[in-house]
């Protein structure tokens, strides 16, 4: 009879994940990458539940605590990824954002494998599994307090290290290919006179170039028609995360006016003085600027202020939110759009 507790079950899946990856490499059977990713995702899922159970309470691993039948615990629904992360915060366990992002990316790949078709290069598979190893190592050693190597046979430790170094070799190979072709990494003028390197929307790596009329990633081998196509396929928010970080570095400088985007509702839409327009770094949407007719400042959200002129005739003008909130000139203000 097989009986494994949460942690034992997690580490058993981890062992198999490593074994499947090495089998894919040694035998050239790329379909084994799929099983490696599924198993390493399963490891993180169980690891998070183990932390909830040990650092909080064993009931926290169940979705609807109030409806649990103590005699049928094995049939009760358990928490998903987001519920696990939320409950960890409730019990005072803080997982660094870079680890959370690796776990979420891993889950996204697992979901694609389980529910959709899959296209996976060797380089992309090595990145996903390598990042999964980093996340699991952190959870086990920094949160649970155990050493990952204590759970692995010596040969598996070597194979695990091999996987992590393998991804570095794919990175170097991509660099060499780009250099040999004398190609340039894909950049975009996000701010006036400020070019930034954009990552691949599929794998998140920045070894992506424009050549022969298409945008191509040298890690995952995916191709895109143009920048717009990259943005539309940014399901993992690799591009928007990079762009938002660039904006956040400038947010408090006072150099840019920033407002909420009409399309995605994030406060990441800034006024581009060179183009006299507003640009959202999250969804890449452009908006025409309308100058406030009272103070002359750029405004994204037009409001109409009604006032009486010198002859006591009622007049109206487009105004910015600052004038709408602070000026005593207007007896009525309406949203225009």
Residue 270 has, within 13 A of its CA and on its CB side, a CA count of 23
What is the C-alpha to C-alpha distance for residues 54 and 56, in angstroms, rounded to an integer? 6
What is the C-alpha to C-alpha distance for residues 37 and 106, in angstroms, rounded to an integer? 8
Contact 86, 48 (CB under 8 A): no
- The H-or-E segment that residue 43 falls in is helix 31-55
- The H-or-E segment that residue 191 falls in is strand 187-191
Give pLDDT tens digits for 1-22: 667 777 888 888 988 998 888 8
Cα 10 to chain centroid distance, Å, stands at: 25
Residues near 203 by Cβ (< 8 Å), separated by ≥ 6?
123, 124, 127, 217, 219, 220, 222, 238
Alpha helix positions (H), 4-30? 6-27
pTM attached to this predicted model: 0.69
**Predicted local confidence at residue 38, as pLDDT:** 92
How would you classify residue 145: left for phi > 0, otherwise alpha for psi between -120 and 50, otherwise beta? left
User: Strand, helix or coil at 255?
Assistant: coil
Residue 66 burial (10 A CB sphere; 0-12, 13-18, 19+): exposed
What is the C-alpha to C-alpha distance for residues 83 and 70, in angstroms, rounded to an integer? 21
Two structure tokens written together for 67: 């409806």
DSSP 262: T
Residues near 51 by Cβ (< 8 Å), separated by ≥ 6?
88, 93, 139, 143, 144
Q: What residues in the chain have per-residue pLDDT under 70?
A: 1-2, 64, 66-76, 337
Contact 133, 141 (CB under 8 A): no
User: Strand, helix or coil at 209?
Assistant: strand
């Amino acid at each position: 009879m097989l009986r494994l507790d949460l942690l034992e079950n997690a580490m058993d899946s981890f062992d198999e994940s490593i074994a499947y990856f090495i089998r894919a490499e040694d035998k050239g059977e790329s379909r084994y990458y799929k099983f490696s990713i599924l198993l390493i995702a399963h490891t993180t899922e169980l690891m998070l539940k183990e932390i909830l159970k040990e650092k909080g309470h064993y009931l926290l691993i169940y979705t609807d605590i109030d409806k649990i039948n103590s005699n049928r615990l094995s049939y009760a629904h358990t928490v998903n990824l987001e519920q696990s992360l939320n409950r960890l915060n409730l019990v005072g366990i803080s997982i660094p954002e870079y680890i959370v992002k690796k776990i979420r990316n891993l889950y996204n790949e697992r979901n694609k494998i389980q529910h959709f078709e899959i296209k996976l290069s060797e380089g992309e598979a090595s990145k996903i599994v390598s990042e999964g190893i980093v996340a699991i190592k952190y959870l086990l050693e920094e949160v649970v307090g155990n050493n990952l190597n204590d759970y692995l046979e010596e040969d598996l430790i070597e194979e695990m290290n091999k996987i992590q170094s393998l991804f570095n070799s794919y990175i170097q190979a991509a660099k060499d290919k780009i250099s040999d072709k004398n190609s340039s990494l894909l950049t975009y003028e996000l701010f006036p006179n400020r070019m930034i390197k954009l990552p691949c929307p599929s794998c998140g790596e920045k070894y992506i170039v424009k050549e022969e009329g298409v945008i191509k990633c040298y890690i995952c081998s995916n191709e895109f028609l143009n920048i717009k196509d990259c943005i539309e396929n940014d399901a993992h928010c690799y591009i928007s995360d990079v762009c938002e970080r660039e904006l956040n570095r400038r947010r408090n400088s006072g150099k840019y006016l920033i407002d909420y985007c009409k399309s995605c509702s994030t406060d990441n839409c800034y006024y581009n003085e060179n183009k006299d327009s507003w640009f959202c770094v999250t969804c890449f949407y452009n908006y025409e600027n309308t100058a406030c007719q009272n103070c002359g400042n750029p405004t994204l959200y037009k409001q109409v202020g009604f006032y009486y002129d010198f002859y006591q005739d009622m007049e109206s003008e487009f105004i910015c939110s600052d004038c709408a909130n602070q000026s005593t000139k207007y007896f009525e203000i309406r949203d225009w759009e």
